[in-house]
């Protein structure tokens, strides 16, 4: 009898110890040893030529449709900065450009999100592109991609609901020349939380975020030779408010991570790599232009502060400088790298090489993994040129 009681006491003690050990194990930092729970597609800066519009992008869309992704995001630029003479497909900023793009997005079987790029609105005042009034073209994009049945939903054959920045904070095109610009909703800015991850799109543009002229001597801009500070100031304030909203939602919903998608490569250091802005990494002040043409300083400071406060993984996805990379370029004011921040730049056009660079990025997402995100380059077999697919 005594031995039996002793045995029961030992079993109970071992059970308590095992439970305690399990609790201790569960409280350890998350590891990265799980399979990822889902994937999304990231792409942008296409098409820039007839062959990209007729072959490269259709191949890319077929490849994404064959992939097991939950949704995709295109980070801007529906065309090249300047129109191509004698092209068979739309390369100016006339209405057919946006019809073509809508067809591409709605060829995607899964939900498809889009944030505008400078080539499809701020650069539309270039002589070769029409020229068009830039703000009128953005107003047109808001009508085509972000209104009607897309008012609170994605593009794509399967749609996904999203929150929309409807507050009248951005400038719209006046109804008649000379009339004051109305304040309208920044309805291109979207926000959604999917499977414990928060996603947000922001209208942040290449070419100095519309604070300097968009043209060149070869293709001059018409009408805003010094940029459009009033448009920039309204939209930039709205973008920072929407960015704060995204972090607030991520906190409120206890999201494991946050992904931000915009078009511009703002530059994070003094290298000027791929033609990006040169920037003091500590102060985040651009060093290669006058202060009144730095279209990214304020939102980068806000992004840095919010990322530090959030502590969990934050990803910025952008296009613009046309070079696929995944890195950690953001540092704090003392020069220490922000370990929880990752930059992903999607593949972008290289017109001289045709469809050679028309590929996409797969983001692998696991809310229960320590780092939450991982990224794989998706080389579209039909778009391989230098080394054909085996």
Q: Record the tokens describing residue 280, joined without a space.
A: 């003091």
CB atoms under 10 Å from CB of 248, counted, come to 12
Binned at pLDDT 50, 70 and 90, residue 225 comes out as low
Asked whether the predicted pLDDT for residue 21 surpasses 90, the reply is no
Asked whether the predicted pLDDT for residue 97 surpasses 70, the reply is yes
Distance CA 107, CA 86 (A): 26
Judging by beta carbons within 10 Å of its beta carbon (0-12, 13-18, 19+), is residue 254 exposed, middle or buried?
A: exposed
Distance CA 188, CA 166 (A): 9
Sheet holding 373-378, edge to edge: 112-114, 72-74, 38-43, 360-365, 373-378
Binned at pLDDT 50, 70 and 90, residue 19 comes out as very low
Considering the domain 39-383 in this protein, what is its CATH number?
3.60.21.10
Binned at pLDDT 50, 70 and 90, residue 3 comes out as very low
Q: What is the pLDDT of residues 23-44, one digit of tens each?
A: 333 334 567 666 799 999 999 9
Picking from 280, 275, 276, the residue whose alpha carbon sits closest to that of residue 265 is: 276
Mean pLDDT of 55-65: 98
> How are beta strands 341-345 and 314-318 bridged, if at all?
parallel
pTM for the model stands at 0.92
CA 311 to chain centre: 20
Q: Record the tokens describing residue 15, joined without a space.
A: 């059970």
Binned at pLDDT 50, 70 and 90, residue 241 comes out as very high
Strands, E assignment, 232-313: 257-261
Judging by beta carbons within 10 Å of its beta carbon (0-12, 13-18, 19+), is residue 226 exposed, middle or buried?
A: exposed
Distance CA 48, CA 58 (A): 13
In contact, 71 and 113? CB cutoff 8 Å: yes
Domain locations along the chain:
39-383
CB atoms under 10 Å from CB of 273, counted, come to 15
Asked whether the predicted pLDDT for residue 149 surpasses 80, the reply is yes
In contact, 81 and 126? CB cutoff 8 Å: yes
Distance CA 129, CA 210 (A): 16
Distance CA 124, CA 157 (A): 29
Distance CA 268, CA 275 (A): 12
Binned at pLDDT 50, 70 and 90, residue 6 comes out as very low
Distance CA 289, CA 274 (A): 16
Report the chain's mean pLDDT, rounded to a whole number: 91
Mean pLDDT of 199-218: 92
Q: What is the largest CA-CA distance in the chain?
A: 101
Picking from 374, 308, 312, the residue whose alpha carbon sits closest to that of residue 29 is: 312
**How distant, in Å, are the alpha carbons of 26, 70, 263 from that of 210?**
49, 33, 12
Q: Record the tokens describing residue 234, joined without a space.
A: 């309204």
DSSP symbol at 70? S
Q: What is the pLDDT of residues 296-345, one digit of tens each?
A: 999 999 999 999 999 999 999 999 999 999 999 999 999 999 999 999 99
CA 225 to chain centre: 28
């Amino acid at each position: 009898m005594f031995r039996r009681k002793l045995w029961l006491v030992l079993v109970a003690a071992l059970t308590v110890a095992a439970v305690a050990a399990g609790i201790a194990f569960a409280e350890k930092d998350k590891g990265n040893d799980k399979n990822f729970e889902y994937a999304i597609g990231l792409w942008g800066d296409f098409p820039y030529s007839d062959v990209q519009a007729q072959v490269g992008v259709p191949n890319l869309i077929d490849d994404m449709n064959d992939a097991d992704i939950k949704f995709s995001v295109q980070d801007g630029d529906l065309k090249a900065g300047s129109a191509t003479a004698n092209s068979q497909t739309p390369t100016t900023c006339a209405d057919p450009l946006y019809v073509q793009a809508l067809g591409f997005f709605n060829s995607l079987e899964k939900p498809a999100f889009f944030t505008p790029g400078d080539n499809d609105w701020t650069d539309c005042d270039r002589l070769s592109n029409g020229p068009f009034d830039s703000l009128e073209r953005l107003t047109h994009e808001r009508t085509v991609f972000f209104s009607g049945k897309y008012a609170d939903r994605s593009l794509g054959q399967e749609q996904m609901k999203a929150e929309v920045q409807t507050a009248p904070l951005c400038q719209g095109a006046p109804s008649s020349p000379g009339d004051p610009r109305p304040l309208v909703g920044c309805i291109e800015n979207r926000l959604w939380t999917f499977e414990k991850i928060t996603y947000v799109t922001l209208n942040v543009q290449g070419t100095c975020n519309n604070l300097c002229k968009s043209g060149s001597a070869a293709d001059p801009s018409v009408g805003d030779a010094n940029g459009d500070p009033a448009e920039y100031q309204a939209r930039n304030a709205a973008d920072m408010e929407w960015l704060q909203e995204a972090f607030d939602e991520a906190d409120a919903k206890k999201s494991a991570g946050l992904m931000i998608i915009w078009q511009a490569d703002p530059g994070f250091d003094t290298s000027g790599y791929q033609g990006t802005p040169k920037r003091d990494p500590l102060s985040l002040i651009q060093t290669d232009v006058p202060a009144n043409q730095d279209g990214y300083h304020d939102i980068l400071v806000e992004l840095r502060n919010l990322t530090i406060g959030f502590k969990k993984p934050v990803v910025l996805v952008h296009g613009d400088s046309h070079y696929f990379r995944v890195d950690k370029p953001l540092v704090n004011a003392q020069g220490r790298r922000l370990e929880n921040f990752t930059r992903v730049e999607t593949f972008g056009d290289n017109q001289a090489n045709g469809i050679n660079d028309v590929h996409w990025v797969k983001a692998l997402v696991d809310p229960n993994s320590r780092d939450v995100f991982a990224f794989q380059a998706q080389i579209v077999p039909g778009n391989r040129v230098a080394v054909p697919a085996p």
